[in-house]
Amino acid sequence: MQGSTLKPLITAMALTFILSACHNTPNTTETSVAPNAVAQHIIDNNAANPFFKPYGTYLEIPNFDNIKSEHYLPAFKAGIAQNKAEIQAIIDNPAPATFSNTIEAMEFSGNLTSKVANVFYNLTGADTNDELQAISKEVSPMLSAANDDILLNKMLFNKVSDVYQQRDELKLSIAQAKLLKDTYHSFTRGGANLNEADKATLRALNEQLSQLSLEFADNLLSETNDFALIIDNRADLAGLPSDVISTAAQTATKRGHEGKWVFTTSRPSITPFLTYADNRELREQIYQGYINRGNQDNAHDNKKVLANMAALRAERAQLLGYPTHAHLVLEERTAQTPENVYGLLNKVWPAALAQAKVEVDVMQQLIDEQGGHFKLAAWDWDYYADKIRVAKYSFNEQETRPYFSLESTLKGVFYTANRLYGITVKERTDLPKYNRDVRTWEVYDKDGSVMAIFMGDYYVRDNKRGGAWMNAYQQQYNMNGVNSTPIIVNVLNFPHPVNGGPSLLTFDEASTLFHEFGHALHGMLSNVQYRSQAGTSVPRDYVEFPSQVMENWMTQPEVLAQFAKHYQTGEVIPQSLVNKIQAASKFNQGFATVEYMAATKLDLDWHTITDFTPKDAAVFEAESLNNMGLISEIAPRYRSTYFAHIFAGGYSAGYYSYLWSDILGADAFEAFKEKGIFDRATADAFRKTVLSQGGSEDPMALYKAFRGKEAGIEPLLRRRGLLNK
């Protein structure tokens, strides 16, 4: 996963974006305007603050050991003050507004704020603590207000508008024209045309929303950490693989339950439990603990928080002249309108639901044959799906674990990147890192030059949010006489090694590693002039596209033969097991597609409301799911109260993006299949037209430049077994 909201065009304007998605800009304090009195006073009184001078490290990697909690707040305050001075200098410039002295000047501003935000918001997601969470609550309204100060500044908007009105005569490059267009639209979408009273209302709405988003995230983290399924009877572990049991014992020890076994709602814990535990009552217990996070009517309940957010978003959208929040968001996405997204869902949903019902019937038949006197329930799905998978395909995903150690899968990722793009990596143990689990590599381009720094943070921690994502501590850019080397990080939640052995991944987890490295490649292979257009700074429904494409190589026999080797014997994964993987690849796709699409529709329904009265969250969710005909055996991938993507991240009205991007990804991989999966000409074209261009051009124009046509939906449906062709 890679996050964004409304795409920022200048660093200061990116502050709202930073709050939700850790958008990143270069680690530098260079500016064209001297610090103003406020900023200088803060800097002078915090001489030891590492944010106020170069890090002095290789390629300016953040010097994590020197950065303390007390450094963030002064740095944020100084950065905001300095950015205010930079913006005022643009306004006060007596010369007529030009692309250079207005649009580019804004693009070059806000470096100090971005420098501290890059570190702070990466760590609040990957390595947080109580101090960082408290600082986040204080900083959030400051950044929201600073963002509004720019977007609602009439004199600044007048200058931007003056340049925009001249756009046809300026002879701008494609990237410059897009920067100008996006900057102008950021102002109009940010409220620049509102009257003063409405601007004040907008400021208040933005501040409330930023605070509620933080509250939602904090509640969810607390709910996730508070739940524990504690088992003290070994008989209750029946069916579970030995490595899962060992991990549960380690978790129990860490949580003060020595001699017992603890399972949590983190994916590495709950997924194997639901898949393999024979005890149906315990499966129900942990499942209910998972799906009711934020829905316990306690101090961490999220129902009112999210309902208020949806209502406030609707109010803000209408204040800005849009029918709904979804219309506001989707205007700048490739989907363009909610109607187009609903249309896509309606094309896929019938086939997916029909397939899911077939899967229900097959599992119910197995239950009946085994003498079970119960109806299949949601907490039974993974368990019986695995039984069917084993029976039908003789495939048990646990068989694949020995061949997908974290180390071997990393080799597979790096091998694939080398074959496609000629890049190589060298691990460095001497560079700064924020946690001892983090690993760091230098990345070299095919000409031998250092292209990027890549960090990998792979193991689950209590202070790390769930899921998997890519971010940057520094974006690539080449502007204002400076060429910036990207510093990219992948953050995942794999199980820790047990008893001195390696971390063994499921096939799905290994695929996730490939997916996230696809995002990393998008950041590392970026080659643009402007930092706001670098790497993954693209529309939400396009950002998943390169990562979806990268997943395809994971399943190719030629790639598997290179890295899928038994961690003990070195034996290459048997072709018979590869055949089973491929045969089972379309299995359970009805369930996978339905649970995802249910969450997608729930997201859209929340963000197409038109009134400002907060809904009853439980009633609204039930009506949304009933209206689409969701069957009781399947819950949405994310229910409202723990749908962090849309209420604490950058996916509001955008969760459909995975399906949208997967259509692009499936269609794009057809080009590689036609010419050969490692055809260098095809890979070079993909790098040149997609990976290197970031957001410097219209994304669908870039896609067509690579593929020579628009993407069709058939390759995706065929791959998921939802199309009989």
The domain spans of the chain are 12-151+153-189, 227-291, 405-563+658-719
Does 19 or 498 have the greater pLDDT score? 498
- Residue environment code for 293-318, b if the CB has 16+ CB neighbours within 10 A, otherwise e: bbbbeeebbbbebbbbbbbbbbbbbb
* CA nearest neighbour of 122 among 482, 427, 474, 424: 474
- What kind of architecture, by CATH, is found in domain 405-563+658-719? Orthogonal Bundle (1.10)
The pLDDT score that the predictor gives to residue 4 is 31
Question: Beta strand pairing status for 469-474 and 450-459?
Answer: unpaired
Instruction: Identify the bridge partners of residue 504 per DSSP, sorted by sequence position.
Output: 405
Eight-state DSSP code of residue 528? -
pLDDT band with cut points at 50, 70 and 90 for residue 583: confident
**With contact defined as beta carbons under 8 Å apart, do 75 and 116 qualify?**
yes
CB neighbour list of residue 659: distance below 8 Å, 6 or more residues apart: 344, 345, 348, 596, 597, 600
Residues 595-650 pLDDT 10s: 999 999 999 999 999 999 999 999 999 999 999 999 999 999 999 999 999 999 88
The pLDDT score that the predictor gives to residue 582 is 82
Give the Cβ contact number of residue 501 at 10 Å: 12
User: What DSSP element (H or E) covers 229?
Assistant: strand 229-231
Q: What is the mean pLDDT of residues 320-340?
A: 95
Instruction: Identify the bridge partners of residue 450 per DSSP, sorted by sequence position.
Output: 444
Least confident span in 70-74, 393-397, 649-653 = 393-397
The answer to whether residue 158 scores a pLDDT higher than 50 is yes
What's the CA gap between 534 and 477, in Å, rounded?
6
What's the CA gap between 422 and 415, in Å, rounded?
9
Report pTM. 0.85
Residues 350-384 pLDDT 10s: 999 999 999 999 999 999 999 999 999 999 999 99
Question: Beta strand pairing status for 439-444 and 450-459?
Answer: antiparallel
Widest Cα–Cα separation across the chain:
85
The pLDDT score that the predictor gives to residue 11 is 36
For 322-384, where are the E strands, in sequence order?
none
What's the CA gap between 240 and 237, in Å, rounded?
6
**With contact defined as beta carbons under 8 Å apart, do 155 and 91 qualify?**
yes
What's the CA gap between 53 and 432, in Å, rounded?
17
Tokens of 622: 């039930």
**With contact defined as beta carbons under 8 Å apart, do 74 and 46 qualify?**
yes
User: What DSSP element (H or E) covers 707?
Assistant: helix 699-707
Choosing among 3.90.380.10, 3.40.50.10440, 3.40.1000.10, 1.10.1370.40, the CATH entry for 12-151+153-189 is 1.10.1370.40
**With contact defined as beta carbons under 8 Å apart, do 587 and 392 qualify?**
yes
Q: What is the mean pLDDT of residues 71-77?
A: 97
Choosing from 60, 315, 516, 551, the catalytic residue is 516
Active-site annotation holds for 407: no
Tokens of 225: 């950490």
The answer to whether residue 21 scores a pLDDT higher than 60 is no
Q: What is the three-class DSSP state of 490?
A: strand
